Amino acid sequence: MFKRFLVLILVILLVVPGFAGLAEEESRAQTVQALNALVEEFLKKNEYSYDFADDTFTMDFTLDSALSSCEVEIRVYYDAIEVLCTPTVRAKEENREKLALLTTLINYDIFYAHLGTKLESGTFYSRGMQLVETTLPGLEELGVLLHMPLNYLDDYGDGLA
């Protein structure tokens, strides 16, 4: 009798953490769904045209600087929203290290997003991110999150191109 009781206790101890893991996964899926709905509401409210696949919103933006345009990806995670703006312009091989230095110097001066460089390909980007812990961002916060990386590409685009 005691052995059966001990086996039952061990089985319960092994199964209960599994239920907690399932609840956590369900909570994460609900958060991603809520964030996707929030981003979609923001984009529709501002009449942006976009494509959506795999929790990623994709669109093209025209810039006022020498960069002329960029592709914007808004990626939704269970704990964050990321905005990645990548211009179509690429740095020539002989200018890639200079571009990396320039983006580093610019990053010293900016706050809401940062610039990055991929030396191998000559691509560069502006990236903003907002962590989501317990409170979802509002539409105003999404506006800042989207527009600040774009503004930085516009502000510094002539030097980056």
pLDDT digits (tens, 9 = 90+) for 43-69: 999 999 999 999 999 999 998 888 889
Stretch 74-79: mean pLDDT: 94
Indicate the burial class of 13 (C-beta count within 10 angstroms; 0-12, 13-18, 19 or more): exposed
The mean pLDDT value of the chain amounts to: 87
Residue 96's domain is classified under what CATH number?
Answer: 3.30.1460.70
Six token digits for residue 104 = 């580093």
Number of domains in the chain: 1
Predicted TM-score of the model (pTM): 0.81
Q: What is the pLDDT of residue 25?
A: 72
Query: How close are the terminal C-alpha atoms of the chain, in Å?
Result: 78
Q: What is the pLDDT of residue 41?
A: 96
Confidence of residue 153 (pLDDT cuts 50, 70, 90): very high
Range of the domain at 87: 2-160
